[in-house]
Structures are given as C-alpha cells and as structure tokens.
C-alpha cells in the first residue's frame, strides 16, 4: 500500500510501482506515492478524452461554481496541505501557508472569468462572430518549486475554458498534488481532472500523444525545448513558462536599507527557487559598497532551518540534484568574485545553504550569466544607464526585471527599454491572477494568468453567417 494514489477517471489507482518522497530538510523518505507508467498515463488520457464532450458543454456558471468549491476545499484544508508541502518542498511553513492563500485566490479569480466571444459584424448582410472553443485534453506538467499553486495555474484556465486535464507533478514533489486530488475527485465529474506521478519518464509520452491537444508546462528552458520537439508532430498548442535570469537595476538615489530589504526578499523567497526572483542585481557604483553591506547583514541574520520549525525564514534546497548545482555555482562564485555573506554549505542532514551575497563579479561570469535558482545573489557594479540596460538585456532570458529609483518617471523610462515580460518599478515579484505573465526570448511562449492566460486554453472559431 502507498500513502497517496493516482487519480484516474474519478478513482484512486495504485499504479505500477512506488516512489519514496524525500523530505529535503532531513534527506529521509516521509511518504510513498503510486508510480504511473505509460499504462496509467494512457488510461488518464483516455478518461479525460471521454469526459471532454460533456464537460465542454457544461454551462459556464456550473464550471465556475465547481472551481469555487475547489477554492473552498483549499481554504478548509490549508493547514494540512501546507504541512505536507513543507515536508516535500522544504519552504518555511509560513510560505507554504502563503502558497495555499495564493492558490485559493487564483481559483476564486478564475471562477469569475469566462471565455469571451466577440461580434465583428452584425448588419443586414452578415453576422460574424469570433467564438472561443475548448481544445480538448490538456497535459499540465508541473515544477517542484510551487507544486500546488502552479497546478491550479493549469487547472483553473483549462477547466473554465471547457477542457479536461491530466496533471503530472514533479517527481520530487508529488505528495501535495496527489492529496489535492481528493478534492478534485469529489468535486468534478470523473475524468475531468486526472493526476499522475512518475520519476520523469512520462513527459515524452504525454507531450507526443495524439489525444492531448495542449501542453501547459512550467519549468526549465531546456525541458521546454524538448517539449516543443515532442509536440511538433501533432502541432499541439503550447504554453511554456520557462527559465529566467531576472535583472534588477538599482540607481544611486534609492534609500539603501529599504531597497536592500526589497531586493533580499525578492531574491531569497522560497530559498531563491522562484522563476521571477531577482537573480542578478546591477548596483550603481556610488552606493555599491553600502548596498553590499546592507544585503550581507540581512543574509547573515537570516534563520535557515527545517521549514516546520518556528521562525525559519529560509528552508533547504528542494532536491539533491539542485543542491549539487548550487554547490558548483558557489565554487564558481568564490573564484570569480568575493563572498560577502553566506556561501556556507552546512554540515548537517538536509540540503541547506545559507543565503549568499557575491560581490565583485561581472557579466561573463557563470554566476551572473546563468540562472542559479537558489539562494545566491550576485551584485554587479555599473555607472552608465545605457550600458547597464544593454547588459541587463544581454541574456537569452526575459521573464522578469525591476528598476529601483526615487525618480519614478526616469525608472519607468528605463523599464520600457528592458526586454522582459514583466518589469517592476520600485518592487519585484508583484503578481496576481488578473495580471498577464509572459516571457520574452527563451523565457517562454504564451501567457499565464488573467483573461489572456485563459484564452491560451481556447481555439478561435469564426462563425460567418450570410443573412441573404
């Protein structure tokens, strides 16, 4: 027997194997989940395909009401889900509770939306209308940094648009999503939501399957490329929210302690494992030393421990593979620049790394050019605005960025020149279900969140009627 089973066609299924899920704070298993093979994946796709005709014509008010019920279930079970999330993902319990609140909010917002038809012409000669039709079966492939929130970024628009869904959480964080499946089973008709778990074998099967109409993926750019290749033969619709190397430009007129706190929080949320986190900070030379000192104080004072402990600010790296990558980045940072704070891999059980501030680095260093996706922040000195904009833009990524200055008008002008899907001014990582999120360049294809994100889960159909 396993602790958590697959959800296929409204039933919990044992699967064809067992996965032990590791708590990254202890490096020990804390739960077992059923493992799916292509057999279970094919059954899940078939169940979703079977459920699609009835679900696609279910009145939008009913679909909205059921999504609201799912939000109610998240709210009622937030503490239980958050504790599971902390044990499998590592984030502090307060952040896990925050993820539950965000999840509930996203579901409630999408429960107020509906695909919008648009009349182009209605006169004596023609009635012409653009209609938004559901696509069919959607495969939602999830990351390990925000397992339940990103699951609902797929569930909400897919179901409101009239699609059915097969979800595959990341192999290292399947527990909360499978537990969440209990609510989906009780709320939605059989086959509308199906949830699998694997050890990274099933991606190609899902993304190439002829009965899957769309793939919604959040994760690395490298995996996004492979998904595009796999989906090409069937020309699937794709929404890909991929990597980022988010730049922050900090001008010399800022309040340094206040700005340092904002930058620190935006860089080290979820142990730095956030696609939109500040990953490289360009600091004006006039305040460079002061900013380094302020950020170092915050890093030195941070409480790093098991996320279930009281008062913890930063938990462990989520998994062993990412932990090894972070250690390589730290080795590179020591040779390229100066570790101003942190840089310590703690000698204890768990994948713990103290928040690290790296100074005296430059563009061209791996720690600056590559996405760390962990608790490391490089600080790069600049003096010229045109030059720093060019440096910020000299990246294959373009997901998020920010500009900090007391001169809001000037900062906004700088923001307009940055090649990024979202650019914040005097803030970072301010997102919401009503705000479209998209990536420039290799940070993604398509839009998540908002009515624009909902439309990604629809097909345009033109109805063109001659009246005479």
- For the segment 407-455, what is each residue's pLDDT rounded down to a tens digit? 999 999 999 999 999 999 999 999 999 999 999 999 999 999 999 999 9
Run of H or E including 384:
none
- Can you tell me the distance from the alpha carbon of 413 to that of 365, in angstroms, rounded to the nearest whole number? 28
Cβ atoms 60, 107 nearer than 8 A: no
Cβ atoms 459, 133 nearer than 8 A: yes
Residue with tokens 């064809």: 16
Tokens of 130: 């653009």
Q: Pairing state of beta strands 437-438 and 17-23? A: unpaired
pLDDT range class, residue 236, cuts 50, 70, 90? very high
CA atoms in the 13 A half-sphere facing the CB of 426: 14
Asked if pLDDT for residue 345 goes beyond 90, the answer is no
Q: DSSP E strands: which ranges in 221-265?
A: 237-241, 247-250
pLDDT range class, residue 344, cuts 50, 70, 90? confident
pLDDT digits (tens, 9 = 90+) for 188-211: 999 999 999 999 999 999 999 999
Calculate the alpha carbon distances from 167 to 44, 109, 164 in Å: 9, 21, 10
Calculate the alpha carbon distances from 192 to 40, 167, 196 in Å: 15, 11, 13
Q: What's the pTM?
A: 0.95
Asked if pLDDT for residue 347 goes beyond 90, the answer is no
pLDDT digits (tens, 9 = 90+) for 280-314: 999 999 999 999 999 999 999 999 999 999 999 99
For range 22-42, the mean pLDDT: 98
All structural domains of the chain:
6-242+443-466 (3.40.605.10), 247-433 (3.40.309.10)
In DSSP terms, which residues pair with 249 in a beta bridge? 282, 403
pLDDT range class, residue 346, cuts 50, 70, 90? confident
Q: Which residues contact 437 (CB under 8 A, 6 or more apart)?
A: 241, 421, 422, 431, 447, 448, 449, 450, 453
Laid out side by side, the sheet with 444-445 consists of 11-13, 6-8, 193-195, 164-168, 137-141, 212-218, 237-241, 444-445
Query: Catalytic residue numbers?
Result: 241, 275
Asked if pLDDT for residue 255 goes beyond 90, the answer is yes
Q: What are phi and psi of 354, to 5 degrees?
A: -70, 150
In DSSP terms, which residues pair with 345 in a beta bridge? 353
């Amino acid at each position: 027997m396993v602790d958590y089973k697959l959800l296929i066609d409204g039933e919990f299924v044992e699967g064809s194997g067992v996965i032990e899920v590791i708590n990254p704070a202890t490096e020990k298993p804390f739960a077992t989940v059923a493992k799916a093979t292509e057999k279970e994946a094919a059954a899940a796709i078939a169940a979703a395909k079977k459920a699609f005709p009835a679900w696609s014509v279910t009145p939008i008010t009913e679909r909205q009401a059921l999504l609201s019920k799912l939000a109610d279930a998240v709210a009622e079970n937030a503490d239980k889900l958050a504790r599971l999330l902390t044990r499998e993902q590592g984030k502090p319990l307060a952040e896990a509770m925050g993820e539950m609140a965000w999840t509930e909010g996203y579901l409630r917002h999408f429960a107020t939306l509906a695909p919008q038809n648009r009349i182009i012409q209605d006169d004596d000669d023609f009635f012409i209308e653009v209609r938004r039709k559901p696509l069919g079966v959607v495969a939602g492939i999830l990351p390990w940094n925000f397992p339940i929130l990103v699951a609902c970024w797929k569930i909400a628009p897919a179901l409101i648009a009239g699609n059915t869904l097969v979800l595959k959480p990341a192999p290292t964080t399947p527990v909360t999503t499978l537990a969440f499946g209990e609510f989906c089973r009780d709320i939605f008709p059989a086959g509308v939501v199906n949830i699998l778990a694997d050890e990274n074998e099933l991606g190609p099967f899902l993304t190439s399957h002829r009965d899957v109409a769309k793939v919604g993926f959040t994760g690395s750019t490298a995996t996004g490329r492979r998904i595009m290749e796999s989906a090409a033969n069937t020309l699937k619709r794709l929404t890909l929210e991929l990597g980022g190397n988010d730049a922050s430009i900090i001008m010399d007129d800022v309040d340094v302690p206040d700005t340092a706190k904002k930058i620190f929080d935006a860089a080290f949320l979820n142990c730095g494992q956030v696609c939109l986190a500040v990953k490289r900070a360009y600091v004006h030379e006039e305040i460079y030393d002061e900013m380094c000192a302020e950020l170092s104080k915050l890093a030195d004072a941070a409480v790093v421990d098991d996320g279930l402990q009281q008062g913890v600010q930063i938990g462990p790296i989520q998994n062993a593979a990412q932990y090894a990558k972070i250690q390589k980045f730290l080795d590179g940072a020591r040779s390229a620049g100066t570790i101003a704070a942190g840089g310590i891999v703690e000698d204890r059980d768990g994948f713990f790394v103290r928040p690290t501030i790296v100074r005296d680095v430059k563009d061209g260093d791996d720690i600056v050019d590559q996405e760390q996706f962990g608790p490391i922040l490089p600080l790069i000195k600049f003096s010229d605005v045109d030059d720093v904009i060019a440096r910020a833009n000299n990246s294959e990524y373009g997901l998020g960025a920010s500009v900090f200055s007391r001169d809001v008008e000037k900062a906004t002008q700088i923001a307009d020149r940055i090649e990024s899907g979202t650019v914040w001014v005097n803030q970072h990582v301010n997102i919401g279900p009503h705000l479209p999120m998209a990536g420039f360049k290799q940070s993604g294809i398509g839009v998540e969140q908002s009515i624009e994100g909902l439309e990604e889960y629809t097909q345009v159909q033109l109805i063109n009627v001659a009246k005479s």
